[in-house]
A and B are shown apart, each in its own frame.
Chain A
Amino acid sequence: MADLADKVVAGARTRPDGKVKVTGGFAVSSDLHMEDMLWGATLRSPHASARIVSIDVSKAELVPGIVAVMTSKDLPAKPTYGLLHADQPVLASDVVRFEGDPVAIVAGENLEACRRALRAIEVIYEVLDPVTDPELAEISPPVHPDGNLFRRVVITSGDPEIQGEIIVEGVYEVGMQDQAFLGPESGLAVPDGKGGIDLYVATQGPHQDHRQLAPCLGLEPEAVRVQVAGVGGAFGGREDFSVHPHACILALKTNRPVKMSYLRNESFVGHLHRHPARMRFRHHATRAGDLVKVEAQILLDGGAYASTSAFVASNAARFACGPYKVPNAHVVATCVRTNNHPCGAMRGFGAVQACFGHESQMDKLAAALDMDPLQLRLRNAMQTGDRLPTGQVVHVPAPVRECLEAAAAFPLPPTAVDNQDGYGLPGGAGRTADPSRVRRGVGFAVGFKNIAYAEGYNDDTRARCLLHQGRATITCAVAELGQGFVTISRQIAKAILGVDEIDLAPASTGLIGSAGSSAASRQTYMSGAAVERVCHEVAARAKQSFAQQHSIDPESLLVDGGFIVSKDGSIRIPIAHACPEPIEVEVYHMHPPTAPMDERTGQGDTDVSWLFGAQRAVVDVDLDLGLVRVVQITTGQDVGRALNPVSVVGQIEGGISQGMGLAVMEEVISVNGLVKNPSFTDYLIPTFADMPPVEVSFIEEPEAGAPFGAKGVGETPSLASTAAVAAAIRAATGLDLPRVPIRPEDIVFAASAKPLSAPQFT
């Protein structure tokens, strides 16, 4: 098997969709169009909380070019949807619960007509006081009939009364981050002429869309097909519906194709964000620096609707202590409902917030112990065989020490301030810094997270392979978001079957069962494994067929890297030519089962595996202006086995840029539930000029049972980058800086900063 893994890696290729993407020929969902299509558009609530008194669409219906105007009264079937609980209205009927709750949809001959129609809809609202402070949510009037608590997760292990010789406590806050994928939410819904519908949409999981969609349309499941269209990035933000039900409902109503595509300001309300967090930690250690106990209270603001909040809360709790040996722990993670924008999945999924907390604490503890922060981490680093606070034993490679050491091993950049005509200073092209007031800082952070779904969730996938006339066709409903499943699946098939001609069928619910979502760093691990298994099975059948055709004992034959060979060496024939008939096989794949957590203690073997990653950040800070330049980020990342090294580096650099963004610039700013910066002018993401050089070390300790040893890599780089950059800024400034993103005023006016608030320990 090691040989085959080498063969997969040696066969690493460039993206098969690369050529069409660099020439502008790749259709993303917003490029879809049909001759007779209508455009759709959505009217959304301008209020964070209000009662709908009346909606008058009569003037909108008269706008030239308008074909349909629909409100909640016109919905065909189930009026709500949701990934875990159907608590989100397709269109609001009685109340709106966040700024952006959809209240009406229109379809028209062009987008301008739709916009005019939206302006002509008269909605009378009775505006209510929104619940916007997550700390008050549980004692506030219910925002929704389901109440204001999504989930409280408690994990208790060891001796809750034990005290350490050294105790440090801190309160931390993480602002709301946006996935900020570039491709707008968009899709094209096409009636099939038989009462059913085909939806082509940018999504992470066509089958989870399908499961929610058919009941909302009042159609049998087989009458609805969801196909993944070209996806312009996702990062968790395409787990939930955006245009899906609206485009389909309008298309069914008008019996014409309907395209919907959001502008950026609508995108900021049209998908869910990363949960803002308020956290209180208390770390206990011996004087020698061994962790004794971690106490944590984590409060996550889930916003108006449930989405995946219950699992985000669990992740925040499970990973709150960090990848360390922690013999005693008491962790409470609570996710509440408010009238803020709904939050859901984003790269790192609860573990990013937790990591900022536990890593800030490790630095605080190091300071209290007068110990080097890296040495403190190394001293406490988790290893294979250690027990997590959930009681689960870490049975897979856990190269925490190796990740940290690899990040630390890269040479530091020149210590002199990088003065490239001023451009290299904080403030960049503005050339605002006084070089004598610039300080350098270095910070470390390490994080971990589970791969795939957890807590007993039914996590499965399927792959089909058809081998015929030297050509393999793989059908597996994985959403390609840019991560490269289109590359890795072909690499695997090529290594096993030896064929060069490999097609990947569209990811459609009409063609095969679910592959699960492209989320949780799970698709190489899960669907990569399914492709591996199905190709082995096809090869085995080709061998059987060949033996039968030539009356050879199949036991005398072997499959070896694309060939069928006889043990005596006299036969060697490519698998592709071994069987004149088509061979088609489908496999079902599920990872080893996980278990729910005990509701009272949080104990349970909840996870199938984990990924680990460490970063070292180097920053320069302008003390007067509060501007930060990130100078370098180095990383050691546990990848199991890098099957396509260039793709893995790309995942790591991209994840680090998002983590750095959360550290110094990215925040969806919400005031009384109203978002103030829904644009790329005001919500800043790292540009080419912001991004420092990144140095990457793969830590390759192949995981048994994973396909060719490969772990997921998508989320790992996002986990600790934010914490590492924050640590470096603290090192440069000597300030506490307990909140990210760290804004210039947090540095310049640190002395007058208001203390943060977080739940007390219980």
Chain B
Amino acid sequence: MDEQISFTLNVNGHKHEIQSAWLGESLLFVLRERLNLWGTKNACEQGECGSCSVLIDGRLCCSCLEMAAAAVGTDILTIEGLAPNGDLSDIQEAFVEEGGVQCGFCTPGMVVAVHDLLEANPSPSSLEIREALSGNLCRCTGYGRIEAAVRRVVEARHG
């Protein structure tokens, strides 16, 4: 329980030394408490809500269910890595424009999930959008404006 380890994580293209961590620390914990990347949120910490969604080597996952130490050697992308220069991605822009944001708690995880969806499927049907994002809970919006945001991106990308 008290055994401590140190390791390196590659997050948003930068290497971070993690010193004296407990082996069992989740990636979510390390991102937030050790790297101060607070954009990845903690709502359930059991993989149900998607608020902590990140991409590990391009794979969408709940960072609360990943051991940080097991992510050594991977490329981790968090919400902070999606618009590193302060310019919004088209997905982020669409969330704002279409009213897909209310309290904003689910938003970072949802944006990461949409990013993942549109990488894999540039022209998702309504059904595919809803299925792909069904692991990301939102309590404010009822999802309607979020779906509108996704559609806006799809339409814009297809010119």
A pairs with B: yes
Is B97 part of the binding interface, using a Cβ–Cβ cutoff of 8 Å? yes
Contact A31 B38 (CB under 8 A): yes
Contact B99 A649 (CB under 8 A): yes
Interface set, chain B 55-114, CB cutoff 8 A to A: 78-80, 82-83, 86, 88, 92, 95-99, 101-108, 111
Interface set, chain A 626-679, CB cutoff 8 A to B: 646-647, 649-650, 652-658, 679
Give Cα A460–Cα B111 distance, bound, in whole angstroms.
38
Residue numbers in A under 8 Å from B92 (CB-CB): 19, 22-23
* Segment at the interface with A among B3-11, B130-138, B151-159: B130-138
The one of A23, A31, A182, A655 in contact with B88, judged by C-beta atoms closer than 8 angstroms, is: A23
Residue numbers in B under 8 Å from A234 (CB-CB): 103
Contact A26 B104 (CB under 8 A): yes
Give Cα A705–Cα B140 distance, bound, in whole angstroms.
29
| Chain A 214-235 interface mask (CB, 8 Å, partner B; 1/0) | 0000000000000000111111
* Segment at the interface with B among A166-174, A468-476, A681-689: A681-689
Give Cα A50–Cα B103 distance, bound, in whole angstroms.
38
The one of A23, A647, A686, A693 in contact with B39, judged by C-beta atoms closer than 8 angstroms, is: A23
Q: How far is the CB of A314 from chain B (nearest CB, A)?
A: 27
Q: How far is the CB of A739 from chain B (nearest CB, A)?
A: 24
| Chain A 377-413 interface mask (CB, 8 Å, partner B; 1/0) | 0000000000000000000000000000000000000
Q: How far is the CB of B51 from chain A (nearest CB, A)?
A: 6
In this complex, how many residues of chain A approach chain B with their Cβ under 8 Å: the count is 63
Decide yes or no: A19 and B144 within 8 Å by CB, A264-B46, A689-B134 being known contacts: no
Give Cα A183–Cα B104 distance, bound, in whole angstroms.
9
Contact A183 B43 (CB under 8 A): yes
Decide yes or no: A685 and B99 within 8 Å by CB, A23-B79, A28-B105 being known contacts: no
Is A63 part of the binding interface, using a Cβ–Cβ cutoff of 8 Å? no
Contact B108 A653 (CB under 8 A): no
Give Cα A681–Cα B44 distance, bound, in whole angstroms.
9
Is A429 part of the binding interface, using a Cβ–Cβ cutoff of 8 Å? yes
Residue numbers in A under 8 Å from B141 (CB-CB): 650, 653-654, 657
Is B48 part of the binding interface, using a Cβ–Cβ cutoff of 8 Å? yes
Contact A689 B131 (CB under 8 A): yes
Residue numbers in B under 8 Å from A181 (CB-CB): 103, 105, 139
Contact A24 B136 (CB under 8 A): no
Contact A182 B139 (CB under 8 A): yes
Give Cα A234–Cα B105 distance, bound, in whole angstroms.
11
Residue numbers in B under 8 Å from A33 (CB-CB): 36
Contact A647 B99 (CB under 8 A): yes
Contact A657 B143 (CB under 8 A): yes
Give Cα A690–Cα B137 distance, bound, in whole angstroms.
11
Is B142 part of the binding interface, using a Cβ–Cβ cutoff of 8 Å? yes
Contact A18 B142 (CB under 8 A): no
Is A483 part of the binding interface, using a Cβ–Cβ cutoff of 8 Å? yes
Q: Please name the residue on chain B nearest to A17 by beta carbon.
A: B104
Give Cα A658–Cα B142 distance, bound, in whole angstroms.
8
Contact B88 A679 (CB under 8 A): no
Is A706 part of the binding interface, using a Cβ–Cβ cutoff of 8 Å? no
Q: How far is the CB of A471 from chain B (nearest CB, A)?
A: 23
Residue numbers in B under 8 Å from A483 (CB-CB): 102
Q: Please name the residue on chain B nearest to A659 by beta carbon.
A: B142
Is A288 part of the binding interface, using a Cβ–Cβ cutoff of 8 Å? no
Contact B101 A22 (CB under 8 A): yes
Contact B139 A233 (CB under 8 A): yes
Contact A22 B102 (CB under 8 A): no
Residue numbers in B under 8 Å from A233 (CB-CB): 102-103, 105, 139-140
Is A482 part of the binding interface, using a Cβ–Cβ cutoff of 8 Å? yes
Q: Please name the residue on chain B nearest to A233 by beta carbon.
A: B103
Residue numbers in B under 8 Å from A680 (CB-CB): 43-44, 46, 48-49, 137
Residue numbers in B under 8 Å from A30 (CB-CB): 41-42
Contact B104 A23 (CB under 8 A): no
The one of B38, B44, B144 in contact with A27, judged by C-beta atoms closer than 8 angstroms, is: B38
Q: How far is the CB of B139 from chain A (nearest CB, A)?
A: 5
Residue numbers in B under 8 Å from A184 (CB-CB): 42-43
Is A484 part of the binding interface, using a Cβ–Cβ cutoff of 8 Å? yes
Contact A429 B131 (CB under 8 A): yes
Interface set, chain A 128-181, CB cutoff 8 A to B: 179-181
Residue numbers in A under 8 Å from B131 (CB-CB): 423, 429, 688-689
Residue numbers in A under 8 Å from B46 (CB-CB): 264, 679-681
Q: Please name the residue on chain A nearest to B98 by beta carbon.
A: A646
Decide yes or no: A21 and B140 within 8 Å by CB, A14-B97, A15-B101, A689-B130 being known contacts: no
Give Cα A384–Cα B34 distance, bound, in whole angstroms.
60
Give Cα A180–Cα B105 distance, bound, in whole angstroms.
12
Contact A180 B139 (CB under 8 A): yes
Contact A679 B44 (CB under 8 A): yes
Residue numbers in A under 8 Å from B120 (CB-CB): none
Residue numbers in A under 8 Å from B135 (CB-CB): 687
Give Cα A423–Cα B95 distance, bound, in whole angstroms.
26
Give Cα A233–Cα B140 distance, bound, in whole angstroms.
7
Is A750 part of the binding interface, using a Cβ–Cβ cutoff of 8 Å? no
Q: Please name the residue on chain A nearest to B43 by beta carbon.
A: A182
Contact B140 A687 (CB under 8 A): no
The one of B79, B103, B137, B145 in contact with A653, judged by C-beta atoms closer than 8 angstroms, is: B145
Residue numbers in B under 8 Å from A688 (CB-CB): 129-131, 133-134, 136, 138, 143, 146-147
Residue numbers in B under 8 Å from A690 (CB-CB): 134
Q: Please name the residue on chain A nearest to B108 by beta carbon.
A: A24
Is A691 part of the binding interface, using a Cβ–Cβ cutoff of 8 Å? yes
Residue numbers in A under 8 Å from B99 (CB-CB): 14-15, 646-647, 649-650
Give Cα A15–Cα B95 distance, bound, in whole angstroms.
10
Contact B102 A482 (CB under 8 A): yes
Is B116 part of the binding interface, using a Cβ–Cβ cutoff of 8 Å? no
The one of A27, A264, A429, A685 in contact with B139, judged by C-beta atoms closer than 8 angstroms, is: A685
Residue numbers in B under 8 Å from A654 (CB-CB): 102, 139-142
Q: Please name the residue on chain A nearest to B102 by beta carbon.
A: A482
Give Cα A687–Cα B141 distance, bound, in whole angstroms.
11
Contact A22 B95 (CB under 8 A): yes
Residue numbers in A under 8 Å from B97 (CB-CB): 14
Give Cα A728–Cα B127 distance, bound, in whole angstroms.
23
Contact B103 A18 (CB under 8 A): no
Is A263 part of the binding interface, using a Cβ–Cβ cutoff of 8 Å? yes
Q: How far is the CB of A604 from chain B (nearest CB, A)?
A: 35
Give Cα A370–Cα B40 distance, bound, in whole angstroms.
56
Which residues of A pack against B, CB within 8 Å?
14-15, 17-19, 21-28, 30-31, 33, 112, 179-184, 230-235, 261, 263-264, 420, 423-424, 429, 481-484, 646-647, 649-650, 652-658, 679-681, 685-691, 693-694
Of all A-B residue pairs in the complex, the 5 with the closest CB atoms, nearest first, are A24-B39, A482-B103, A21-B104, A653-B142, A232-B105
Q: What are 17 inter-chain pairs, A to B, with CB distance below 8 A?
A: A22-B88, A22-B108, A23-B108, A24-B40, A24-B79, A27-B38, A182-B105, A483-B102, A650-B99, A653-B142, A656-B142, A657-B142, A680-B44, A686-B142, A688-B146, A691-B130, A693-B144
List 16 additional contacts besides A24-B37, A31-B32, A33-B36; criterion CB under 8 Å.
A18-B101, A22-B101, A22-B108, A23-B83, A24-B78, A112-B22, A181-B139, A182-B43, A182-B139, A233-B105, A653-B145, A655-B142, A680-B43, A680-B46, A680-B137, A688-B136
